[in-house]
C-alpha cells in the first residue's frame, strides 16, 4: 500500500507512519534490530541511511528501502512511502467455533409507548418503566428525549435496562475484541443471528514501548504517565478498527486479553505485575459501560471484560478454555496458547493447572535474521525436501514463524541440524557465523537456532512440568489444543518433531480461540458466568520457584533425537 504523509523535520518516519494509521510492525521498539519496519521510500527528504540500515538492508537500499525506525525527516515536507502488503493483516485467524444456544445479552425490541396528550400526560420514561424498562444510563435518556413524538420505539435492552433507543429500527450488533500483545483483533457479531459480520486485526501500537510485556511494564514503572499514553494509543487503534468495521452502533462489547493488556485497557495500574509475586490488582473481570471506557460503541453498551486468574494467566486463557469447554473435550487434555507470552493449561475435569511461559517472540520470527510477518513473499511453509511456498506466490523475502518450525524439523530429519542445536549442515556464512540458506537472501544462522531453542524450551519445559505435577505423561493425553493466530497455521508434524507440542493426544488447532470465547458471550449470556467459574477453578503454578524447573528448561533446549 502507498501512503502519503506529512513528515516534520527530525520526526521519525516510523512515528509518522503510525500517525497515518499505516500497519507497520516494529517489535524491537524502534531500536533497528528486528528489521520488521522495512518500507520503500518513493519520495521525500529523509536523513541518510544509518550503519545499521546498511548492514540490515544491503543492496535493497539502492531500491529505496529503509528501516522506518532509523529514518528521520531532513526537512518539513511530504513523504511517499510504500508499505509492504500484509497477507491477512486485516484478518485474525479463527479456527474452531463451537455452536451454542442463541440467547444474547442484548436484544432489540419494538415497544409501543404511545404519545403523550392532554388527556394522558404520562412522560415516556414512566411509560417505559411500566413496561419493565429502566433508564439508568444517561445517554439512553438522551436518546429518549431525541425520540420524542414517536409512538413506537426500538429499544436495545440489557437486563431490563435501555442501552439505546431510536424511532427507527436498529441492528443488535456486538463487538468481540482480543487485545493481544502484538495484535488487536476485532470482530463484529450480529447478536440476533449469532453470525460474524466482519473482522479485522491491527498491530498493537504499544509496540513502540517494546515487543514484550516486561518492557511495557518497565515503562509504566519508570513513568506512570506511560500507562495513559499506552492506553490512549491502544484505544485509538481499537476505535479505528471498530469504525472500519461499521461497529460504532454496537450495543454490547466483549473484551479479552492477557493480564497486563487488560489492566492497561482499563487504565488500571499494572505495576504489581512487574514485581514478585506478580499478583495483579484485579482478576475477576467485570461489566462496564462503553462510554466510561471511551469505546466507539453505544455509550450505554455493556462491556464484558473477561476475568483472568492471576499472574500472567489472563482473560485470553480463560476465553480459550471457554471455547474448549463449549466444544467439549476428552480429559486429560492440554491447552497451549502460543505467543510471546505463552499460556499452558492442563485440563483435568473439574481441576485445571496453568502456567505462563515467557517464550518471547523468536518463535514468531521476531529477532530472527530473516524472520518476517505474514507479508506477501514470506515463506509460510517448508517441506522435508526443502522446497517451500510463499504467501501470494511471490519471490521469497523471509521466513514466517511457521516456516521456521518447518525448517528446523526438515534440517533435523536431514541431519543438517543436531539435537543439541548445532548447525552442522551449514551451506553459508553470515557475519562470521554458520548459516543455512534456503533461498537467495533467506537463511537462518546459528544464532537464530539458539534463539528458537530457547523459545521452544520455555514452552515445552512448562507443559512437561504440568504433566509431572499431575503424574501423567504426554502419552496419557487425549487431546492437545493449540490456540493463537500463530498456531493456526502450524504443521503438527513439524511442531512435534522439534518438541514444541506433545507427541501424545490428538492435536486440534483452534486459531484465535480467545476472540471466539469473546464471541460466545455475545451469543449466549449464560456463558459469562461460565467464564467466571472457569477462572475460579484454575490453579496457577509458578514454575520459576519449582525445584528442578531450571534443569528441565536446560534439558528442553535440545531437540528430540527423532
Q: What is the pLDDT of residues 58-75, one digit of tens each?
A: 777 888 888 888 899 988
Highest mean pLDDT among 26-35, 222-231, 288-297, 366-375: 288-297
The values of phi and psi at residue 307, to 5°, are -70, 150
User: What pLDDT shows up at residue 446?
Assistant: 94
Highest mean pLDDT among 79-93, 326-340, 529-543: 529-543
Place 17 in a pLDDT band, splitting at 50, 70 and 90: confident
User: What pLDDT shows up at residue 87?
Assistant: 38
Asked if residue 1 has pLDDT above 80, the reply is no
- Other CB atoms within 10 Å distance of the CB of residue 358: 16
Q: What is the pLDDT of residues 421-463, one digit of tens each?
A: 999 999 988 888 889 999 998 999 999 999 999 999 999 999 9
Is the distance from CB of 13 to CB of 68 less than 8 angstroms? yes
User: Which residue, chain included where needed, has cell 471466539?
Assistant: 516
User: Which residue, chain included where needed, has cell 429518549?
Assistant: 144
Pairing of strands 2-7, 77-82: antiparallel
Q: How many residues in total does the chain contain? A: 562
Domains located in the chain, CATH noted = 2-82 (3.10.20.30), 106-166 (no CATH), 173-305 (3.30.420.480)
Cell of 269: 495500574
Residue environment code for 31-44, b if the CB has 16+ CB neighbours within 10 A, otherwise e: ebebbbbbbebeeb
User: What pLDDT shows up at residue 129?
Assistant: 85
Q: Mean pLDDT, the chain, as a whole number?
A: 87
User: Which residue, chain included where needed, has cell 502456567?
Assistant: 355
Task: Please list, in sequence order, all residues whose beta carbon lies within 8 angstroms of the beta carbon of residue 347, skipping any fewer than 6 positions away.
Answer: 321, 324, 329, 331, 332, 333, 334, 335
Lowest mean pLDDT among 285-294, 356-365, 424-433: 356-365
User: What pLDDT shows up at residue 88?
Assistant: 37
What CA–CA distance (Å, rounded) separates 508 from 488?
9
Q: What is the pLDDT of residues 141-199, one digit of tens each?
A: 898 888 877 878 888 999 999 999 988 888 999 999 999 887 899 999 999 999 999 99
Amino acid at each position: 500500500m502507498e501512503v502519503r504523509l506529512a513528515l516534520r523535520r527530525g520526526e521519525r518516519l516510523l512515528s509518522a507512519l503510525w500517525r497515518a494509521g499505516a500497519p507497520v510492525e516494529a517489535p524491537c521498539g524502534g531500536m533497528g534490530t528486528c528489521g520488521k519496519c522495512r518500507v520503500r521510500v518513493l519520495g521525500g527528504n529523509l536523513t541518510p541511511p544509518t550503519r545499521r540500515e546498511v548492514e540490515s538492508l544491503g543492496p535493497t537500499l539502492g531500491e529505496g528501502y529503509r528501516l522506518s525506525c532509523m529514518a528521520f525527516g531532513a526537512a518539513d515536507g511530504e513523504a511517499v512511502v510504500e508499505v509492504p502488503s500484509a497477507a491477512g493483516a486485516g484478518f485474525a485467524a479463527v479456527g474452531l467455533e463451537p455452536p451454542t444456544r442463541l440467547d444474547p445479552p442484548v436484544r432489540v425490541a419494538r415497544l409501543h409507548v404511545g404519545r403523550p396528550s392532554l388527556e394522558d400526560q404520562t412522560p415516556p420514561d414512566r411509560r417505559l418503566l411500566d413496561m419493565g424498562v429502566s433508564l439508568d444510563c444517561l445517554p439512553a435518556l438522551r436518546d429518549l428525549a431525541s425520540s420524542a413524538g414517536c409512538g413506537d420505539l426500538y429499544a436495545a435492552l440489557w437486563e431490563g435496562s435501555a442501552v439505546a433507543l431510536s424511532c427507527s429500527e436498529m441492528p443488535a450488533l456486538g463487538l468481540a475484541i482480543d487485545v493481544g500483545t502484538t495484535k488487536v483483533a476485532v470482530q463484529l457479531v450480529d447478536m440476533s443471528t449469532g453470525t460474524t459480520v466482519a473482522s479485522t486485526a491491527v498491530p498493537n501500537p504499544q509496540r513502540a514501548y517494546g515487543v514484550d510485556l516486561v518492557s511495557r511494564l518497565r515503562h509504566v514503572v519508570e513513568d506512570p504517565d506511560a500507562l495513559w499514553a499506552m492506553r490512549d494509543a491502544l484505544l485509538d487503534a481499537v476505535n479505528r478498527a471498530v469504525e472500519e468495521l461499521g461497529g460504532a452502533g454496537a450495543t454490547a462489547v466483549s473484551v479479552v486479553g492477557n493480564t497486563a493488556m487488560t489492566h492497561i485497557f482499563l487504565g488500571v495500574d499494572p505495576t504489581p505485575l512487574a514485581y514478585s509475586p506478580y499478583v495483579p490488582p484485579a482478576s475477576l473481570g467485570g461489566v462496564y459501560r462503553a462510554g466510561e471506557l471511551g469505546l466507539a460503541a453505544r455509550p450505554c453498551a455493556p462491556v464484558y471484560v473477561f476475568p483472568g486468574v492471576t499472574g500472567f494467566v489472563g482473560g485470553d486463557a480463560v476465553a480459550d478454555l471457554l471455547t474448549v469447554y463449549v466444544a467439549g473435550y476428552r480429559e486429560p487434555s492440554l491447552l497451549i496458547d502460543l505467543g510471546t507470552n505463552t499460556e499452558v493449561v492442563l485440563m483435568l475435569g473439574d481441576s485445571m493447572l496453568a502456567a505462563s511461559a515467557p517464550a518471547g517472540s523468536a518463535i514468531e520470527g521476531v529477532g530472527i535474521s530473516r524472520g518476517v510477518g505474514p507479508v506477501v513473499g514470506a515463506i509460510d511453509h517448508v517441506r522435508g525436501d526443502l522446497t517451500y511456498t510463499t504467501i501470494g506466490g511471490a519471490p521469497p523475502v523471509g521466513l514466517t514463524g511457521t516456516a521456521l518450525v518447518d525448517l528446523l524439523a526438515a534440517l533435523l530429519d536431514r541431519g543438517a541440524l543436531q539435537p543439541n542445536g548445532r548447525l552442522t549442515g551449514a551451506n553459508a556464512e553470515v557475519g562470521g557465523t554458520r548459516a543455512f540458506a534456503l533461498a537467495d537472501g533467506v537463511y537462518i544462522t546459528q544464532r537464530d537456532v539458539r534463539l528458537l531453542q530457547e523459545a521452544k524450551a520455555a514452552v515445552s519445559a512448562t507443559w512437561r512440568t504440568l504433566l509431572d505435577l499431575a503424574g501423567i505423561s504426554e502419552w496419557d493425553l487425549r487431546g492437545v489444543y493449540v490456540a493463537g493466530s500463530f498456531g493456526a497455521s502450524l504443521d503438527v508434524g513439524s511442531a512435534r518433531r522439534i518438541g514444541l507440542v506433545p507427541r501424545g493426544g490428538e492435536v486440534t488447532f483452534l486459531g484465535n480461540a480467545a476472540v471466539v470465547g469473546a464471541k460466545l458471550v455475545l451469543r449466549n449470556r449464560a456463558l459469562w458466568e461460565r467464564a467466571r467459574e472457569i477462572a475460579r477453578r484454575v490453579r496457577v503454578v509458578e514454575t520459576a520457584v519449582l525445584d528442578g524447573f531450571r534443569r528441565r528448561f536446560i534439558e528442553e533446549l535440545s531437540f528430540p533425537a527423532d
